[in-house]
Chains A and B, each alone.
Chain A
């Protein structure tokens, strides 16, 4: 296969297993995000790909060639670190040209390549500046240019945007994605930010406790989370403890809720979790509501202008609904309300 192949890779540090039997393929030219909470093993997996760590077991291949035992400096996968790790003793031009100098490129070749990269990151006139003179966003781009200078087979980014302020971070996400599409370079980005992953990735790998929880396209993972962890970590979900009934129906207290489908192997009477996205939850006043809705009481209303978030208490279970000002029915705390869960938006996860 053209691209990167991780085959059953495990990495242990003493008694701690940071990466636990992970297998995945990154096709040539794809943008993949490793997403998960801190300590889930995503950075260790990235470092294994870079060659900065050696796997305890398993293999890593690039274009069908085994590179498991190849040291980092022979792999030459450009990597952008969380701290950026620019060389403070070199100016911008020499930072970017570092890998070219190691490959014995002539001064003319180096200069041409640096000019090209500075144009690519849209900072054409900063070649002679010292790193200490750059702003956070400029350093970010210089670190990206430095990693790209050697035209790496795989481009690796370890939470490179986490130090930037919110506005700049969102801009950089779009910019980085456009850059990657322009260069068609196989890219892996590590992040704990689901929005960041959804903005940039072709494929997201959700990780927890060193294991892969789900691999898929961003919207696919959002719509069909594989388990309770993914549903909870990836965006906001209402997670409701229910009991399986006959057919595509679950039981919540004395109420029956119709769902799209049931997971295989869940027998009637078995405990399950119902996952519903807040934007799929509809609220209605009891008098005009469908009679299979859940009765509840409004606890809290957060009007954000562009959207309105309502917290409803249904027999001790908190359910969040998000709606737009256009569909807003003007609820206030303590109002009685009926919660409607559309069957096609209800996903049942085996507990």
Chain B
């Protein structure tokens, strides 16, 4: 390859490189800079280098909240993937018209903002309207009561937010799947339930895993639903970061916690990739 054409090839990379630098490297550099800066009560922060805030991260409240956030994210991802898979399987088996209708509905719920969804759930879980009255009518509750704030309300709202994403991630693989494979298993003596667990689920392990990872990463930074639908003990690390920055006026601490969250997300993703590779068939 000539030097000129090599140069032309490299020049294509200029724009993505600039974008990556401007939108990722620079902000991360700023975050890193602020996290080691000196806390200045008057002007939020002043230049300097100290590890005070990183030492403060060892505070049990921060670590407990981080662990809780990770557990919450994994729980939400697992729940939404478990709900999304059978749903996507049935949608992929529908006639084309039905598939399009369901996909449009899912995309339209994605257009709702997180804030709107969280407050809608708050209304729906309130004492005098919505679910509470229905539960009383069904005989599950003796009298109307408020169903939030609590852990269940936070999980329900987050699953609602993440579910369309997981469905849309699993759906393409399911719609491409050769349905004759399931039929072949039937002719070999497998009942429909057996076919699902011994053929369809293992074949779709890759897409299931990747959608679960994305749902986890999407949930781990959640801010609004835990604030609106949770008590202080249901607050996530993102809420802690927000409070440190906005009400506590401690920007360096907020920056340090953000870096911790980033590291935890990377570790979680790395772990799932390693686990996924371990299960891949031997070549």
Interface on A for B, CB 8 Å cutoff? 50-52, 71-79, 81-83, 85-89, 91, 98-99, 102-103, 130, 133, 146-147, 149-150, 156
Query: Given the complex, which residues of B lie within 8 Å of A50, measured CB to CB?
Result: 187
**Number of B interface residues in the complex (CB < 8 A):** 22
Q: Which of B187, B194, B283 is within 8 Å of A72, CB to CB?
A: B187
Determine the distance from Cα of A71 to Cα of B183 in the docked complex, in whole angstroms. 11
Docked complex: B139-184 residues within 8 A CB-CB of A: 178, 180-181, 183-184
- Are B189 and A87 in contact (CB-based, < 8 A)? no
Residues of chain B from 174 to 217 with CB closer than 8 A to chain A in the complex: 178, 180-181, 183-192, 194, 198-199, 202-203, 205
Contact of B194 (CB < 8 Å), options: A77, A81, A102: A102
Do A91 and B189 touch across chains, with their CB atoms under 8 A apart?
no
A98 to B198, CA, bound (A): 9
User: A73 to B186, Cβ gap below 8 A?
Assistant: yes
- Whether A102 lies near B189 (C-beta < 8 A) is yes
Q: Name which residue of chain B comes closest to A76, CB basis.
A: B189
Q: In angstroms, how far is the closest chain A Cβ from the Cβ of B182? A: 8
CB–CB B183/A85 < 8 A: yes
- Bitwise, B221-245 to A at CB < 8 A (1) or not (0) is 0000000000000000000000000
Query: A52-B183, A87-B181, A89-B202 in contact; A130/B189 too (CB < 8 A)?
Result: no
B180, B189, B192, B203: the one contacting A81 at CB < 8 Å is: B180
Which of A71, A82, A89 has a CB less than 8 Å from the CB of B203?
Answer: A89
A76 to B188, CA, bound (A): 5
Whole-angstrom distance between the Cβ of B282 and the nearest chain A Cβ: 8
B residues within 8 A CB of A133?
283
Task: Give Cα A79–Cα B194 distance, bound, in whole angstroms.
Answer: 18
Does A150 lie within 8 Å of B188, measured CB to CB?
A: yes
Which among B184, B185, B188, B283 has the greatest number of chain A C-beta atoms within 10 A? B188
A147 touches B187 (CB 8 A): yes
**Complex Cα distance A150/B184, Å?**
13
Centre residue among A72, A102, A133 by max chain B CB count within 10 A: A72
B43 contacts A by Cβ under 8 Å:
no
Within 8 Å CB of A156, what residues of B? Answer: 187
Alpha-carbon separation in the docked complex, A341 to B15 (Å): 78
**Contact sample, A vs B, 19 pairs, CB 8 Å cutoff:** A52-B183, A72-B187, A73-B186, A73-B190, A73-B194, A76-B188, A79-B187, A83-B178, A83-B180, A85-B178, A85-B181, A87-B199, A98-B190, A99-B188, A102-B188, A102-B189, A102-B190, A103-B189, A147-B188
Q: A51-B187, A102-B188 are in contact. List 8 more A-B contacts (CB 8 A).
A: A71-B191, A73-B186, A73-B192, A73-B194, A78-B187, A98-B198, A149-B188, A156-B187
- With the chains together, A99 CA to B180 CA distance in Å? 16
CB contact under 8 A between A98 and B185, given known A85-B178, A130-B283 = yes
Contact of A146 among B180, B188, B194, B198 (CB under 8 A): B188
The complex places the Cα of A18 from the Cα of B183 at a distance, in Å, of: 20
Identify which of B183, B187, B202 gathers the most chain A CB atoms within 10 Å of its CB.
Answer: B187
The 8 tightest CB contacts between A and B, nearest first, are A85-B180, A99-B188, A85-B184, A79-B187, A72-B186, A81-B180, A85-B181, A89-B202
In the complex, A71 Cα to B192 Cα: how many Å? 10
Q: Does B281 contact A (CB under 8 A)?
A: yes
